[in-house]
Amino acid sequence: MIENTSSIDRVAGAILIAGLLFVLTPLAFVVITATQSYEDFLRNNFSLIPGSHFLENFREVWSRTDLPRQTLNSIIVGGIVATGRVALAVTTSYAVVFFTGRGRGFVYALVVASIMLPLELMIITAYQVTANVALPLNVVANLGGWWGALFGGPLDLQWNLLDTYAGISIPLMAQGSCTMILVQFFRTIPPQLARAAIVDGVGPLRFLWDILLPLSKGPLTALGIYMFISAWIQYMWPLVAASSPARTMAVVGLTRLQEDGERIPDFPLQMTGAILVTLPPLILIALFQRRIVRGLTLSEK
């Protein structure tokens, strides 16, 4: 801007600093607490003076809890969910934007509507279906008892996916926000590109693979990372879907670090665990920061 903006700059700076303090103070508190021993903590309660027990705490979290295993679980589930969501979004958006078919607007509306129906709302049904994937089939087959009449007994197939990676991940994949964002990006791609490809003799799959996907690399990476993180911080569904500590995800495992309720919780240990659980997404963001920002602006040249 040409006008003198130093006063605006000062105010903006002050607001930024206030915001940073607001966000970082609790984090500082987490880090400081993680450096104290349980005994220190019992003696001094919460303190703002850093201790020197971080490595001991970390070693304890690493060797004596399920958290490392659960962090790996989170990485696996996050990876499956992110890949699944992005793959579904690519195929759906491709169909919605580049093909003229009957009912595609309706399908798109349904997908977008799914954003307003988070998994938490359907958690009981989702649990029932995950506990037995064949349940919907059973219900349909036994409607009015026709299966029983034909085969002498009700259909009762069983396929339990609870406590498996698939059982945790697949219900989390069904979410439309990814599709909505990708549809917006695909709409910025000139339709003549598709026409040129058709004249060049390119089929629909080859167009997707040779042209659309390479063009969408930036947005797809950004979306994938968002979706990984949004799966990472899921709590409710992983809590319900995974019962054994070996399959539980890290965020859920974190809350279980201290469950006996008898003694005063080992907050230093929990804070150390929190740091461990925060690290993988943090590293991911640090590595791909520029791609995320560029992907957000949805401009790919």
Partner 1 sequence: MLETSSTAAIGLHGLVKSYGETPVIPGLDAELRGGEFTVILGPSGCGKSTLLNCIAGLERLSAGRITIGGREVQEEEPKNRRLAMVFQNYALYPHMTVAENIGYALKVAGVNKTERAARVAEAARVVELGDYLDRRPGQLSGGQRQRVAIARAVVREPQVLLYDEPLSNLDAKLRHDMRRELAELHRRIGATSVFVTHDQVEAMTLADRIMVLNKGRIEQFDTPEAIYHRPASTFVAGFIGSPAMNLVDVTGEGGVLRLADGTALAAHSHRGPAILGIRPELVVPAPDGLPVQITYREELGAHAVLTLRLPDGTALRMATALGQRGGLPTDLRVALPAAELHLFDPLTGKALASATPATQTKKAQHDHVPS
Name the one range near partner 1 by CB under 8 A: 33-41, 154-162, 202-210, 222-230. Answer: 202-210
**Residue from 22, 190, 205, 259 in contact with partner 1 (CB under 8 A):** 190
CA distance 280 to 183: 29
Name the one range near partner 1 by CB under 8 A: 13-21, 85-93, 147-155, 198-206. Answer: 198-206
Is residue 300 involved in binding partner 1 (CB under 8 A)? yes
Planar angle of CA 14, 16, 19, nearest 5 degrees: 110
CA distance 141 to 147: 6
Name the one range near partner 1 by CB under 8 A: 74-82, 206-214, 256-264, 283-291. Answer: 206-214
Is residue 144 involved in binding partner 1 (CB under 8 A)? no
Among the listed residues 203, 172, 200, 205, the one whose alpha carbon sits nearest the alpha carbon of residue 90: 205
**Token digits of residue 263:** 């003694």
Maximum separation of any 2 CA atoms in the chain, in Å:
86
> Which CB sits closer to partner 1, 56 or 210?
210
Is residue 214 involved in binding partner 1 (CB under 8 A)? yes
* CB of residue 296 to partner 1, shortest distance in Å: 19
Q: What's the full length of the chain, in residues?
A: 301
SS3 269: helix
> Which CB sits closer to partner 1, 124 or 199?
199
Among the listed residues 273, 261, 271, the one whose alpha carbon sits nearest the alpha carbon of residue 51: 271
* CB of residue 193 to partner 1, shortest distance in Å: 5
Is residue 102 involved in binding partner 1 (CB under 8 A)? no
Among the listed residues 265, 272, 145, 284, the one whose alpha carbon sits nearest the alpha carbon of residue 225: 284
Name the one range near partner 1 by CB under 8 A: 4-12, 26-34, 112-120, 196-204. Answer: 196-204
Is residue 201 involved in binding partner 1 (CB under 8 A)? yes
> Which CB sits closer to partner 1, 59 or 206?
206
CA distance 188 to 278: 35
The residues binding partner 1 (CB under 8 A) are 190, 192-193, 195-202, 206, 210-211, 214-215, 300-301
